Amino acid sequence: MKIDVLTIFPDFFKEVFDFGIIRRARLAGIVEIGIHDLREFTTDKHRMVDDRPFGGGDGMVLKCEPIFAAIENLVETDVRENFPNGTRVVLLSPQGKQFKQAVAKEFTDKAEHIILICGRYEGVDERVNDALVTDEISIGDYVLSGGEPAAVVLVDAITRLLPEALGSETSAANDSFSNGILDCPHYTRPPEFRGRQVPEVLLSGNHAEIEKWRQEKALEKTRKTRQDLLKGENN
- From 37, 51, 80, 94, the catalytic residue: 94
What domains can be seen in the chain, in order of their start residue?
A: 2-159 (3.40.1280.10), 179-229 (1.10.1270.20)
Q: What is the mean pLDDT of residues 148-173?
A: 89
CB-CB contact of 23 with 53 (8 Å): no
Instruction: State the DSSP string of 130-166.
Output: HHT-SEEEESSSS--SBSHHHHHHHHHHHHTTSTTSS
**pLDDT, tens digit, 9 for 90 and up, residues 92-132:** 999 999 999 999 999 999 999 999 999 998 999 999 999 99
3-class secondary structure, 39:
helix
175 is catalytic: yes
**pLDDT, tens digit, 9 for 90 and up, residues 188-224:** 999 999 999 999 999 999 999 999 999 999 999 999 9
94 is catalytic: yes
Mean residue pLDDT of the chain comes to 94
pTM: 0.90
- From 122, 156, 183, 220, the catalytic residue: 122
- From 37, 51, 156, 175, the catalytic residue: 175
- From 50, 125, 135, 160, the catalytic residue: 160
